Amino acid sequence: MKISVKVPATTANLGPGFDCMGMALPIYNVITIEETVLPGSGIEINVISTSGELDDVALEHIPLDENSLVYKAVELLYNSIGQTPSELKISIKTSIPVARGLGSSASVVIGSLIAANELLGRPADEAALLSIACEIEGHPDNIVPAYCGGVAISSQEDDGSIVYRKLQWPSDWAVTVCVPDFELSTDIARSVLPKEVPMEDAVFNSSRFGMLIHAICTKDKELMKLSLKDKLHQPYRMKLIPGLNKIMDNLRHIDSVLGCVISGAGSSVLVISEKNDLDEIKNIVSDTWLSQNIKCDIKTLNVENEGAKIISNDE
Ligand code: HSE
pLDDT in tens, 8-67: 999 999 999 999 999 999 999 999 998 876 666 677 777 776 665 445 545 555 556 555
Q: How far is ligand 1, taken at its centre, from the CA of residue 264, in Å?
A: 5
**2-167+304-314: what fold?**
Ribosomal Protein S5; domain 2 (3.30.230)
Helix (H) or strand (E) holding 313: strand 309-314
The mean of the pLDDT values for the chain is 92
pLDDT tens for each residue of 297-313: 999 999 999 999 999 87
Q: What is the pLDDT of residue 46?
A: 75
Q: How far is ligand 1, taken at its centre, from the CA of residue 1, in Å?
A: 34
Superfamily of chain region 173-301: GHMP kinase, C-terminal domain (3.30.70.890)
Q: Where are the alpha helices (DSSP H) in 166-220?
A: 186-191, 199-218
Please state, in angstroms and rounded to a whole number, the distance separating the CA atoms of residues 98 and 5. Answer: 18
| pLDDT for residue 252 is more than 70 | yes
Query: Which comes out higher in pLDDT, residue 251 or 65?
Result: 251
Please state, in angstroms and rounded to a whole number, the distance separating the CA atoms of residues 95 and 45. Answer: 17
Q: What is the pLDDT of residue 60?
A: 53
Q: SS3 of 200, please?
A: helix
Residue whose CA lies nearest to ligand 1 atom number 6 = 265
Residue whose CA lies nearest to ligand 1 atom number 4 = 264
Residue whose CA lies nearest to ligand 1 atom number 1 = 19
Please state, in angstroms and rounded to a whole number, the distance separating the CA atoms of residues 305 and 307. Answer: 7
Q: What is the pLDDT of residue 54?
A: 45
Q: How far is ligand 1, taken at its centre, from the CA of residue 137, in Å?
A: 9
* Index of the ligand 1 atom closest to the CA of residue 105: 8
Q: Which of 279, 266, 306 lies closest to 26 in space, CA to CA?
A: 306
pLDDT tens for each residue of 115-162: 999 999 999 999 999 999 999 999 999 999 999 999 999 999 999 999
Q: How far is ligand 1, taken at its centre, from the CA of residue 147, in Å?
A: 16
Neighbours of 44 (CB within 10 A): 13
Provide the strand spans (E) within 13-63: 21-35, 43-49
* Index of the ligand 1 atom closest to the CA of residue 19: 1
Q: How far is ligand 1, taken at its centre, from the CA of residue 13, in Å?
A: 7
* Index of the ligand 1 atom closest to the CA of residue 101: 7
Q: How far is ligand 1, taken at its centre, from the CA of residue 276, in Å?
A: 29
Domain segments of the chain as ranges: 2-167+304-314, 173-301
pLDDT tens for each residue of 215-225: 999 999 999 99
For 68, list phi and psi in degrees, rounded to 5: -75, 150
Neighbours of 84 (CB within 10 A): 8
* Index of the ligand 1 atom closest to the CA of residue 265: 5
Q: What is the pLDDT of residue 52?
A: 56
Give strand pairing partners of 271: 176, 260
Complete DSSP assignment for 74-135:
HHHHHHHTT----SEEEEEEE-SPTTSSS-HHHHHHHHHHHHHHHHTTS-S-HHHHHHHHHH
Give the pocket of ligand 1 (CB within 6 Å): 12-13, 18-19, 139, 141-142, 186, 189-190, 233, 264-265
- By most ligand atoms within 8 Å of CB, the mutation choice from 98, 190, 231 for ligand 1 is 190
Please state, in angstroms and rounded to a whole number, the distance separating the CA atoms of residues 302 and 173. Answer: 9
| pLDDT for residue 95 is more than 50 | yes
- By most ligand atoms within 8 Å of CB, the mutation choice from 20, 108, 142 for ligand 1 is 142
Q: How far is ligand 1, taken at its centre, from the CA of residue 265, in Å?
A: 5
Give strand pairing partners of 178: 269, 298
Helix (H) or strand (E) holding 8: strand 2-12
Complete DSSP assignment for 243-294:
THHHHHHHHTT-TTEEEEEE-TTSS-EEEEEESSSHHHHHHHHHHHHHTTT-
Q: How far is ligand 1, taken at its centre, from the CA of residue 7, in Å?
A: 18
Q: What is the pLDDT of residue 244?
A: 97
Q: For the residues 236-256, what does the mean pLDDT come to?
A: 96
